[in-house]
Chains A and B, each alone.
Chain A
């Protein structure tokens, strides 16, 4: 019996040591990709020009993208256009994932052929993971406004929009302000795109509600209280809106980015979008390249495509605002009809900084479940 106890103790000790060492990541696979020139190129010029980049990318033949839903800002069409233009196969993993899922996947699959090549992240997740990005300046880098990119090229904003309220005009009366949603006509009808403690889009919704009710993006008490009152009035619907629920009429009013609501309008003519006056919360999403991308040249070509005129106009088609809109307007390369079709905004645009977001999140974590749970 003593031998059993002793061997058990020895085993447990050994296992603990293994667990502690096992917590560190496996060694990186030395792949061809990590040693090729494309992995460290910081611009197309470094590789010998755009044609050289295209040739390298075609040789790689594949691109791994992650967390890009096809009806999110027209990603479906963008992916198809990229694949058709360069003959590169695009593998779209986890279309439903969050920005954090992208980082987790990159960590889990490091060195694998299926690791994500590029990231499309919310600002907070991007700011927390800059060490994972490979700096690269696209050809049109200088046309991106200064505050919307990393000077070293590690990341840059690409497309964005404003927080809006989409509603089915055939089922509910048109709301003029956010406060209108507290009226009995909207009983059991108002949904938020996700849980604000988990999804960036929903978090933006709370910030917008805060702006609309006299608060700020930093002090979101009014926003959380608004949703609390919405819940008490029985108007708040704790259902995750999706194209299926919108079309079936389960979620007639949805807080979401204007480009996502616009995509729904295309499918359903009675779906209208409005950005409340004086409560214009803007947010851009960030593009970055994975430092350990298995297909570095294809990743860089993808970035070039997204920031090219063609790519930026495809964002417009999806109802999102491209980051180079000003420069393209001046140069006349912008898709004027699509640009004019964007929802009108009245009031100053507020794009929250990371510091403001952090303070808002602290309040949210402590109070959201109390208000809405």
Chain B
């Protein structure tokens, strides 16, 4: 009984602490009655706050592209390293965990000369941030994919497929990938959450994205910027809730 009381007291107190800013955001954004109708009206929003509209579109594109680049880079590499280069597994793991030790603010200091070359080849659009974002997402994505690969017997699957005459592309795309679907989805969701919340690199490399646009907006309209922040937060929460439900369901499905 004491445990239940303890649990609910703690949860209530913490709940109040964590929900209070969200409630405050709702209250603050509704101080100006025009805020929410404007936010939900995309054509009007893009004319009145073009920088915000640009930031939102840039962030959505960056999230999608980073997920794709991350998957294209990590899934084949993780599978390949497991099957053919087991000695390099430690190296790959170390490299994937390195971004945790190199804060984004440090990375961006060193990225300036690299991005001078990226600008030279690909132009200066905000979408080129995808390369930096993939680096940021490596630790989380690699861990998710690696966990997924550990759960299935990649060696046997690959040998069986190769024995039946499949090429490596078929092995990766049609044999292994469908079996690690939930891990891949999990990695993709984590990527999207991270990219939507990223500010440091975009701001210091002078590109635009959602967070940069919100910060800039804060200088001219406090209520709209708070409303956008709240929306972004709620969307991210919905996303991760879906992820946790999908993840749990597939755990219950597999033998």
Contact = CB atoms under 8 A, between A and B. Distances in A.
Interface of A: 4, 8, 22-23, 25-27, 29, 93-94, 96-97, 101, 104-105, 107-114, 240, 242-245, 248
A362 to B, nearest CB: 24
Contacts of A240: 219
B219 A23 contact: no
19 contacts: A25-B116, A26-B119, A94-B206, A96-B216, A108-B112, A108-B206, A109-B119, A109-B124, A112-B120, A112-B124, A113-B123, A114-B123, A240-B219, A243-B219, A243-B220, A244-B219, A244-B220, A245-B222, A248-B222
Given A112-B124, A114-B124, A243-B220, A107 B116 contact: yes
Interface string B199-220: 0000001100000000010111
A26 B120 contact: yes
* Binding site secondary structure of chain B: helix
B113 A23 contact: yes
Given A104-B206, A108-B115, A244 B218 contact: yes
A286 to B, nearest CB: 21
A122 to B, nearest CB: 18
Given A22-B117, A108-B115, A108-B206, 14 more contacts: A8-B91, A26-B119, A94-B206, A97-B206, A104-B112, A105-B206, A108-B116, A108-B205, A112-B119, A242-B219, A242-B220, A243-B220, A244-B221, A245-B222
A22 B206 contact: no
B120 A111 contact: yes
A270 to B, nearest CB: 19
Contacts of B113: 22-23, 25
Contacts of B115: 108
Contacts of A96: 216, 219
A111 B116 CA distance: 10
B120 A29 contact: yes
A268 to B, nearest CB: 14
Contacts of B123: 112-114
Contacts of A242: 219-220
Contacts of B221: 244
Contacts of B124: 108-109, 112, 114
* Binding site secondary structure of chain A: loop
Interface residues of B, number: 20
Nearest to B125: A114
Contacts of A27: 120
Interface string B114-134: 111101100110000000000
B87 interface: yes
A93 B216 CA distance: 13
Contact of B116 (A26, A97, A244): A26
A94 B51 CA distance: 10
Nearest to B216: A96
A261 to B, nearest CB: 16
A8 B219 CA distance: 49
A28 to B, nearest CB: 9
A96 B213 CA distance: 11
Contacts of A244: 218-222
B91 to A, nearest CB: 8
A29 B219 CA distance: 37
Nearest to A8: B91
B204 to A, nearest CB: 10
Contacts of A97: 206
Contact of A26 (B87, B112, B117, B218): B117
A26 B112 CA distance: 12
A298 B206 CA distance: 24
Nearest to A22: B113
Contacts of A101: 206
Contacts of B220: 242-244
Contacts of A108: 112, 115-116, 119, 124, 205-206
A79 to B, nearest CB: 14
Interface in B116-158: 116-117, 119-120, 123-124
